[in-house]
Structure 1
Amino acid sequence: MAIHNNEIASALERLADLLDIEDANPFRVRAYRNAARTVGGYSRSMADMVEHGEDLSKLPEIGKDLADKIKTMVETGKLPVLNEAESRTPPALSDLMKIEGLGPKRVKILYQHLDIHSLEDLKRAANKGKIRELEGFGKKTEAMIKQRVERYSGAEKRTKLLVAQEVASALIKYLKRSQGVKQITVAGSYRRRKETVGDLDILVSAKKGSTVMTRFVNYEEIIEVISQGKTRSTVRLQSGLQVDVRVVPQVSYGAALHYFTGAKAHNIAVRKLGVKQGYKINEYGVFEDDKRIAGKTEAEVYQAVGLPYIEPELRENRGEIEAARKGKLPQLITQDELCGDLHAHTKASDGHHSLRQMAEAAAQLGYQYLAITEHSHRVTVANGLDKTRVLKHIKEIDKLNAQLDDIQLLKSIEVDIMEDGSLDLPDDVLAQLDLTVCSVHYKFNLSRTQQTERILKAMDNPHFNILGHPSGRLINEREPYDVDLERLMQGAKERGCFVELNAHPDRLDLTDDACLLAKEIGLKVAISTDAHSTNDLDFMHFGIGQARRGWLTADDVINTRPLNQLKRLLRRD
């Protein structure tokens, strides 16, 4: 049975958690966490690389020992060193570390003193007031833990888009080898590029006698066949995702694609338009009485109700129907309109590749520029840059730029916004940079007013250009900090600053709703990958999908500008 990158990454991350609880060597723990990040975010399948005999030790943060462990997981589905750790420490303790505010030391105390093995144990202990009695906890900490456990336990378990994409890509590749397949599309929230998906809906058109359905239910990653038929089958995969495959006739393919792409509210609105014109619209087509008058393509469905084609990312019933009727649909941004990426890290702080390697990878993507935004030194990472190292780094970029022909590296920094609203580097250093990305990396628990004022004060600094990952959230892992985002956006526009849409699939921060808000305010956005390796530069398409969901056009995004225009935008005169 094939194993996906996210499963390998999860095993490595769980191992790191258990070793952390055991007080293992911190360098060993960090090595497993870094490896998990590399594998989880890698665009190529580890299984495919092993199958082709490629050397995994050449990947960032993957030495020979880790490469061997990953190869073992690919070949056997098991990680023996994880099994050993789980025999010493209850594996469910790893789940406790997903609760914000519970690090390895606190988890260990809870386990040793209250015999807490699971989230349910933790919830019971909090409800009985036992956690407050432990040294280093107290009433406030107990209340915080109780609140976050309830929020985590009640959260809808949806799959990140990156993971769904890996699973879907492998399955589509497998199904395309079926006899008689003509078209195959993943519909649903996946096609609308939502940041998480609940399940996968796959539509197929095929010749009579096609083997696609038989082949589907024999896919090696299936753990349960829920239902099986000639035109529809439903299964559950080892990843936990439920997958529906429907075989539809070519004449109905567009109507079915429209129906199963959704969203439900959008479909209802389109059907109501059809009813007003005497049409019935369903997954089989557009019908006048019993006669099918449209449905082979999605464009036909929209045309039948007097609308132009509406892009899948817009189909949420948030005004797109009315905009279409008035001829005011936005010309959504596309990835080939980008001129560069404004957030990337190298080995100089916590990245994995050199300046030259990042530059060459960005040039291969057709970019004119790449901003090198190493971390500042005080808070974020152990290897962040202080004043002396920033000045040295500036010289290194200047030297490399003199050797590069088809791309320019921009001198930048991801500077921490301190609790008092100051920036983590002096103005005389920031003045020598092409731009700054300014981010909150700590003190997430300030009140809404304090957090908002903190960031607004930072924006008052004339060297503040872009607010990085504005809400601080990590999808399915960390809630956004409490902040008045609309006020921040207004403040940014007034001061000549911008906000980032961080394209990393763990963040996708701004949300689509926040992108819409920025557009309404007239605040322009930078879509950037926050790349820590050359491979991470490929995350840009996730950001583009989010931007399109937020109605953004090329004009709404600053890094669609050529370098000379970008530099004019960044000036705060």
Structure 2
Amino acid sequence: MDQKQVAAVLHEIGVLLELSGEQPFKSRAYYNGARTVEMLTEDLEQLVADGKLEALPGIGKTLAANITELVTTGRMQYHEELKAAIPAGVLELLRIPNLGPKKARVLYRELGITSIGELEYACKENRLITLKGFGAKTQEKLLAGIEYLKRFQGHYRLDEAWSQAVEMLDELKNHAGVVEAEIAGSIRRAGEIVKDVDLVAGAREPAQVTAYFIGLPQVEEVVAREDARARVKLQSGITADLLVVEPHQFVYALHHCTGSRAHLEALEELAKNMKLTVNEYGIFHGDELLRCGHEEELYRTLGLDYIPPELRENLGEIEASLAGRLPHLVEMTDIKGVFHVHTDYSDGSHTLEQMVAGAVQKGYRYIGIADHSQSAFYAGGLKEADIRRQHEEIRSLQEKYPEILIFKGIEADILADGSLDYDDEILALFDFVIASVHHFQPGKDLTERLLKAVSHPAVTILGHPTGRLLLAREGYRVDMEAVLAALRQYQVAVELNASPARLDLDWRYFRRAKELGVKVSINPDAHRVEDLDHTFYGVLMARKGWLEAGDVFNAMGPRKMKRYLEERRSRWAG
């Protein structure tokens, strides 16, 4: 059992203890233990073998024994006993936005609710109105949360599906009979939310490959299988589909299975006008197969420039290709540095130096530290003394790490009236300011609040502009056209928050931002070193939104960025 799996079990124990009504210190011990294990840089199995678990912060004798049992046997008796005492459906209740373990326990103990369906019925019967700690408003929110869940049932975030798709692809490529294989479908098109994993393989013995595929250890259930096709349910719950074709058909099958359906239908109409037929097995002129060795050749056969997978949504990409006006999409190598990086000064897990060293290791030329501001007391928001202490450390680290520029920033809360939560004297201490909303009622219109915030001359970037959490929370309502116009007026960049849980701003707004000349800052919102890799998903979203390197704020080189930030600050702070 690997580190992440152990951490997940410890976290679930913390939840189960809350649901059981145990003393809070017990659940906190397991939550803290999960965090410690998740953030380990040492090898967990080696620590267990050496008996050194108790040397870790927050790991006592009992917790160390339970972790040892879990790592060495793959199970933990204590975990299994707790799970047996709580109906599985009660844990499922926690999938509902804003419903935590304490409230779920009340629903279970007081009303006997053990499933989402029972809770929905109870809400519609108004049984929560008089329940202590609930009431009419909570009941309405829970019903809205249930509707949200139902709408997205069977959907997964891109990062969750991507990691599993890559794992399955690697397994396929290990099969001796597979000539080539690739990920297809909405994952390849970089949809922020996907339903399943699509894989395509080229092989001369398809039946052997599908037999191998359904026998992989990640497979929990075989849903369907033919010689050249298979559908399985993975242990994570996501469905994976495999199509195996002859090697010479691979390029056509990959293109077809990548989609989108609207893009394919538009291509089929284009091909029809050329007296051609295009499908998953080839491009045909009558019965003659027009051979293509790769997708670039396939598009060229149809009289088009190559259209990258991210653009294949029938949103004008075919017309742009015909006119030779497709954008040269931004790439990871274009990103020169990252902003919106948290440290343990606020709610980050790693130290300032660890985050800087991590950025150096990943090849970035600058890093923008942006811990939470003072209003975010729940996240250890920085008071003035903390700010000055952090800035001293940054100055020291800048001497130690001359190969990277370290910019002093803050993620300032946008308060209810649109103001920022520091006065101008404090804001003038920073090289840049990310202004973000963290407290709001989902569905409420916050346009005026954002417009006032971005008008402040200290603001450099508008952070996660809609506040959405994918598959978990609707964002606030906002007139994005008005906000983008204000960003242009005040020369403020808009954030593409690359945390896979956010991917906010939505890629569908980027073409408009580009038209207005509003720069997009692809920020990882990193709380640990590995979160710096979130930038990858941000680049995928930027590509899907037709952005080029010149549209991206942090594609700017280090010297140019330093000069820009200095000039911007000097214009208002002197």
In 2, Cα distance between equivalents of 1:555 and 1:533 = 28
What is aligned with 2:182? 185
In 1, Cα distance between equivalents of 2:423 and 2:252 = 59
What is aligned with 2:407? 410
Report if aligned partners of 2:442, 2:475 keep a CA contact under 8 Å in 1: no
Describe the SS at the equivalent of 2:217: coil
In 2, Cα distance between equivalents of 1:114 and 1:172 = 46
TM-score (norm 2): 0.90
Residue from 504, 510, 525 that aligns with 1:509: 504
Does residue 460 of structure 1 match 2:458?
no
In 2, Cα distance between equivalents of 1:53 and 1:178 = 35
Would the alpha carbon gap of residues 317 and 237 (structure 1) be closer, same or farther in structure 2, given more than 3 Å must change? same
Equivalent AA in structure 2 for residue 552 of structure 1? L
Would the alpha carbon gap of residues 59 and 534 (structure 1) be closer, same or farther in structure 2, given more than 3 Å must change? farther
TM-score (norm 1): 0.90
Describe the SS at the equivalent of 1:402: helix
Does residue 149 of structure 1 match 2:146?
yes
In 2, Cα distance between equivalents of 1:11 and 1:445 = 31
Report if aligned partners of 2:206, 2:227 keep a CA contact under 8 Å in 1: no
Residue from 17, 20, 24 that aligns with 1:19: 17
- Superposition pairs of residues 422-571 of structure 1, within 5 angstroms: 422-445=419-442, 447-448=444-445, 451-570=446-565, 571=568
Report if aligned partners of 1:284, 1:295 keep a CA contact under 8 Å in 2: no
Superposed CA offset, 1:292-340 (max 9, x none)? 0133321222111100110000001111001101111011000001110
Alignment size in residue pairs? 566
Would the alpha carbon gap of residues 66 and 375 (structure 1) be closer, same or farther in structure 2, given more than 3 Å must change? farther
What is aligned with 1:357? 354
In 1, Cα distance between equivalents of 2:341 and 2:127 = 45
Report if aligned partners of 2:411, 2:434 keep a CA contact under 8 Å in 1: yes
What is aligned with 2:374? 377
Superposed CA offset, 1:469-510 (max 9, x none)? 111111111111222222222222211211111111111112
Which consecutive unaligned segments of at least 5 residues does structure 2 have? none
The Cα shift of 1:211 comes to 4.3
Would the alpha carbon gap of residues 504 and 498 (structure 1) be closer, same or farther in structure 2, given more than 3 Å must change? same
Would the alpha carbon gap of residues 31 and 529 (structure 1) be closer, same or farther in structure 2, given more than 3 Å must change? farther
Would the alpha carbon gap of residues 15 and 514 (structure 1) be closer, same or farther in structure 2, given more than 3 Å must change? farther
Describe the SS at the equivalent of 2:290: strand
In 1, Cα distance between equivalents of 2:484 and 2:66 = 46
What is aligned with 2:237? 240
- Superposition pairs of residues 47-446 of structure 1, within 5 angstroms: 78-208=75-205, 211-379=208-376, 381-445=378-442
Moved more, 329-338 or 207-216: 207-216
Which consecutive unaligned segments of at least 5 residues does structure 1 have? none
Describe the SS at the equivalent of 2:449: helix
Would the alpha carbon gap of residues 545 and 60 (structure 1) be closer, same or farther in structure 2, given more than 3 Å must change? farther
Q: Percent identity?
A: 38
The Cα shift of 1:61 comes to 8.5
Report if aligned partners of 2:202, 2:250 keep a CA contact under 8 Å in 1: yes
Describe the SS at the equivalent of 1:133: coil
Describe the SS at the equivalent of 2:400: coil
Describe the SS at the equivalent of 2:241: strand
In 1, Cα distance between equivalents of 2:34 and 2:154 = 21
Would the alpha carbon gap of residues 263 and 251 (structure 1) be closer, same or farther in structure 2, given more than 3 Å must change? same
Report if aligned partners of 1:421, 1:455 keep a CA contact under 8 Å in 2: yes
Moved more, 552-561 or 180-189: 180-189
The Cα shift of 1:73 comes to 5.3
Would the alpha carbon gap of residues 218 and 250 (structure 1) be closer, same or farther in structure 2, given more than 3 Å must change? same
Equivalent AA in structure 1 for residue 557 of structure 2? P
Describe the SS at the equivalent of 1:361: helix
Would the alpha carbon gap of residues 80 and 507 (structure 1) be closer, same or farther in structure 2, given more than 3 Å must change? farther
Would the alpha carbon gap of residues 91 and 234 (structure 1) be closer, same or farther in structure 2, given more than 3 Å must change? closer
Report if aligned partners of 1:253, 1:295 keep a CA contact under 8 Å in 2: no
Would the alpha carbon gap of residues 66 and 327 (structure 1) be closer, same or farther in structure 2, given more than 3 Å must change? farther
Report if aligned partners of 1:438, 1:467 keep a CA contact under 8 Å in 2: yes
In 2, Cα distance between equivalents of 1:428 and 1:565 = 26
Report if aligned partners of 1:379, 1:442 keep a CA contact under 8 Å in 2: no
Report if aligned partners of 2:154, 2:238 keep a CA contact under 8 Å in 1: no
In 2, Cα distance between equivalents of 1:37 and 1:489 = 38
Describe the SS at the equivalent of 1:132: coil
Report if aligned partners of 2:188, 2:258 keep a CA contact under 8 Å in 1: yes
Would the alpha carbon gap of residues 472 and 60 (structure 1) be closer, same or farther in structure 2, given more than 3 Å must change? farther
In 1, Cα distance between equivalents of 2:47 and 2:283 = 48
